């Protein structure tokens, strides 16, 4: 439970607001609500739904907790693809405003409960 709370705090604590500006970039954090062929709908912690366009240059990263990572791993963010995303995943998206849409530059995501499942498989059986 503690790992899940820490992971949630990591994702939601990266920005002061769910959709905050950083120069010309916008950060959107929350939970994937819907996946379309070329966009994601994210429900922010404030309850607002934000749509972000996915493009060919969008980079996808799966956040792996320390418990899930191998000791030899240098980074806890692993390359992923859009097919790895699922409704309910926690996301932090770095996007660029393009007209009335946000275009995703990077989608970093975590699977809820993954750290709990990983730690359960690492416990010795009695």
Alpha carbon of 51 to those of 1, 59, 85, 123: distances in Å? 30, 17, 15, 40
- Polymer length in residues for the chain: 126
> Which of the 8 DSSP states describes residue 37?
S
Do residues 38 and 53 touch, judged by C-beta distance below 8 A? yes
pLDDT given for residue 111 in this prediction: 84
d(CA 76, CA 58): 19
**Domains, the chain:** 2-114 (2.40.50.140)
pLDDT given for residue 76 in this prediction: 80
Question: What global pTM score does this model have?
Answer: 0.69
Q: pLDDT under 50 in the chain at which residues?
A: 1, 4-6, 8, 11-18, 115-126
Do residues 69 and 76 touch, judged by C-beta distance below 8 A? yes
């Amino acid at each position: 439970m503690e790992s899940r709370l820490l992971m949630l705090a990591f994702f939601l604590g990266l920005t002061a607001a769910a959709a905050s500006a950083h120069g010309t970039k916008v950060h959107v954090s929350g939970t994937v609500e819907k996946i379309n062929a070329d966009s994601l709908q994210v429900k922010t912690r404030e309850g607002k739904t934000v749509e972000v366009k996915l493009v060919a240059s969008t980079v996808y990263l799966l956040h792996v907790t320390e418990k899930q990572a191998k000791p030899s791993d240098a980074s806890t963010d692993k390359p992923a693809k859009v097919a790895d995303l699922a409704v309910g995943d926690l996301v932090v998206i770095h996007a660029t405003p393009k007209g009335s849409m946000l275009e995703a530059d990077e989608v970093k995501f975590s699977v809820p409960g993954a750290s709990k499942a990983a730690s359960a498989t690492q416990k010795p059986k009695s």
